Amino acid sequence: MQSKDHIFAAPIAQLGDFCFDQKVAEVFPDMIKRSVPGYSNIISAIGMMTARFAQPHSQLYDLGCSLGAATQEMRRNLTQDGCAIIAIDNSSAMLERAANHLAAFKSDVPVTLTEADICDIEIENASVVVLNFTLQFIAPDKREALLKKIYQGLNPGGVLILSEKFISADDTVNQLLIDLHHDFKRANGYSELEVSQKRTALENVLRPDTPEQHKERLARVGFNHVDMWFQCFNFGSMVAIKQVAIK
Ligand SMILES: C[S@@+](CC[C@H](N)C(=O)[O-])C[C@H]1O[C@@H](n2cnc3c(N)ncnc32)[C@H](O)[C@@H]1O
Ligand SMILES: O=C(O)C(=O)C[C@]1(C(=O)O)C=C[C@@H](O)C=C1
C-alpha cells in the first residue's frame, strides 16, 4: 500500500526548507504524482527514449533517482547488450526505499545505487543520462559545470533527458502557469494550506530557470540538438542530444 502525502496538511509553526528526508521518501510516489503534471507520461517517455538511445556496452545514469521510478522504466526498456544503470541520490532515505522498490522487479540489467552528490561523481561511457526534476535543486552556480560534465561523459549519439519546473520570462504567463499548477494540485486533493505551506518550504531550495535559460546553457556546454519535447503548465521535459560523429 502506498502512503498518502499529508506532510503539509496541518499548520506548521516553524516551516523549514523542504528536504528529501524519511517523511518525504515514505510518501514520495503519491506526492510526485499529485504535484507534477505529466509525471507518469514523462517516466514512460524516458523508457521509450532509452529503447532508442541506449548503446550496447554503455552506462545509463539516473541522477537524483529518488525511489528509482526512471531507473525501473529504463531497465524495463533496455534490450541492448552489456548495459549498466547507475542511479545516484544524496538522500539515504530515498536510496533505502529505492533498493526495495527495484528489488521487487525481475531484471538482468545491473543497477548500482550510490549515495553521492551528483556534482561530485564521474560520468563516462554514457548513452542515456536522466535528470528528472533534479537540476532545479542544484545550486544555480553549479548547474553549468554539472551539465558540461554530462556532455563530456556522453558518447556521440547519447542523450540527456532534462525534466524541470520552469518559470516563464513573461510575468503574466508565469502567473497563469503557477495558478494552473495550483489548480492541478487542488484537483488532486491538496488543500489551500498544503499548497501554500509547500510553496513556502520550496522557495529557497527549488530555483527554477526559464526554458530559454536551459536551452542556452545546454548549447553553451556543447549540445547541438536541444528542444522541449513535453510541457504541461510550468513543468516540462527537454531532450539534448550529443551529435553523432561524422564517419
Ligand atoms: C524531485 S526528486 C527526483 C524525482 C526522480 N528523479 C523521479 O523521477 O521520480 C529530486 C531528487 O534529487 C535528489 N537530489 C537533490 N540534490 C541532489 C544532489 N546534489 N545530488 C544527488 N541527489 C540530489 C533528492 O534527494 C531527490 O531524491
Ligand atoms: O509541489 C510542487 O510545487 C513541486 O514543485 C513539485 C516537486 C518538484 O517539482 O520536484 C517538488 C518537490 C517534490 O519532490 C515533488 C515535486
Residues 124/59, Cβ–Cβ less than 8 Å = yes
> Is residue 25 in contact with ligand 2, taking CB distance under 6 Å?
no
Rounded CA separation 182/176 (Å): 10
Q: Would you say 118 is a known binding-site residue? A: yes
pLDDT of residue 2: 79
pLDDT of residue 86: 98
> Is residue 202 in contact with ligand 2, taking CB distance under 6 Å?
yes
In tens, the pLDDT along 168-203 reads: 999 999 999 999 999 999 999 999 999 999 999 999
pLDDT of residue 225: 98
Q: Are strands 154-165 and 235-241 parallel, antiparallel or unpaired?
A: antiparallel
**pLDDT of 246 over the 90 cut:** no
Cβ neighbours around 109 below 10 Å, total? 18
**pLDDT of 247 over the 70 cut:** no
pLDDT of residue 242: 98
In 110-135, which positions are buried (b, 16+ CB within 10 angstroms) versus exposed (e)?
ebebeeeebeebebeebbbbbbbbbb
Which value does ipTM take for this structure? 0.97
**pLDDT of 245 over the 70 cut:** no
Closest ligand, as measured to the CA of 36? 2
**pLDDT of 6 over the 90 cut:** yes
Ligand 2: centre distance to CA 32 (Å) = 6
Ligand 2: centre distance to CA 118 (Å) = 19
- Taking residues 76-94, what's their average pLDDT? 98
- Taking residues 209-221, what's their average pLDDT? 98
Report CA dihedral (54, 36, 131, 101) to the nearest 10 degrees.
Answer: -70
- For residue 118, give the ligand 1 atom closest to its CA: 20
Ligand 1 site residues, Cβ closer than 6 angstroms: 20, 32, 64-66, 69-70, 88-91, 94, 117-119, 132-134, 137-138
- For residue 36, give the ligand 2 atom closest to its CA: 6
Q: Which of 2-16, 144-158, 161-175 has the lowest mean pLDDT?
A: 2-16
**pLDDT of 81 over the 80 cut:** yes
Ligand 1: centre distance to CA 237 (Å) = 15
- Taking residues 111-131, what's their average pLDDT? 98
Residues 208/232, Cβ–Cβ less than 8 Å = no
Rounded CA separation 174/135 (Å): 20
